[in-house]
Amino acid sequence: MVQALSPPVPKTSLTLEAFLAMPETEPASEFIDGDIVQKPIPQGKHSAVQSEFVPIVNHKLKPAKIARAFTELRCTFGGRSIVPDVSVWVWDRIATDESGDIANVFSIAPDWTIEILSPDQRHTKVVKNIMHCLHHGAAMGWLIDPDDRTVFIYYPDGKMELFDEPEARLPMPEFVQSIELTVGDVFGWLAK
């Protein structure tokens, strides 16, 4: 007996504009290639790394007006709307409103995107978001995997490096001259 294959299921016809008009979800949802993908709820290791990383960046770079780090900031550009765990923006590219305050809408890629892998999160989905940022102007992307204690560094030219030795010094974007971190520093943040 020969069985006919079912026709492929069409992708959602939702537009980016319709997605952005929807109420926000908790945790955040992202709009990727016409699909809505909800991010997993951050767990302990994710939260520990994220909450230590942002103050270090802001303490070193914000007073000198070099750059500023944000957590869970919606970034809508290139047909996607994503929410990186941490996004770092060079000072002159930080979106502002008419009064000069931080804007609510960021419509260009961050200069540095950092994702922290959660246990139930797909590595491929996260890498695709990093690559999207790099394709649209980001200088560097990091994927931090707390369970494997590995940091993957992605560059705009498609190159990727893996760092898992505690003493290994992590590469930084060119605009970050005053911060030095090792793999051991990053995963040291997991200690109680």
Of the candidates 41, 90, 33, 48, the residue with the CA atom closest to the CA atom of residue 67: 90
Average pLDDT over residues 110-120: 95
Query: Which token pair is 20?
Result: 């952005």
- pTM metric for this prediction: 0.91
Check whether 98 has a pLDDT greater than 60.
yes
- The hierarchical CATH code for the domain 47-188 is 3.90.1570.10
Q: What's the confidence (pLDDT) of residue 2?
A: 42
Residue corresponding to tokens 């190159």: 159
Q: What's the confidence (pLDDT) of residue 6?
A: 37
Average pLDDT over residues 35-43: 92
Domain boundaries, the chain: 47-188
Average pLDDT over residues 38-65: 96
Of the candidates 192, 188, 89, the residue with the CA atom closest to the CA atom of residue 144: 188
Distance CA(23)–CA(98), nearest Å, equals: 24
Span 145-189, pLDDT tens digits = 999 999 999 999 999 999 999 999 999 999 998 999 999 999 999
pLDDT band at 11 (very low <50, low <70, confident <90, very high): low
Q: 96: Cβ–Cβ under 8 A, 6 or more apart, which residues? A: 102, 103
Span 71-83, pLDDT tens digits = 999 999 999 999 9
Q: Which residues pair with 161 in a beta bridge?
A: 153
Average pLDDT of the chain, as a whole number = 93
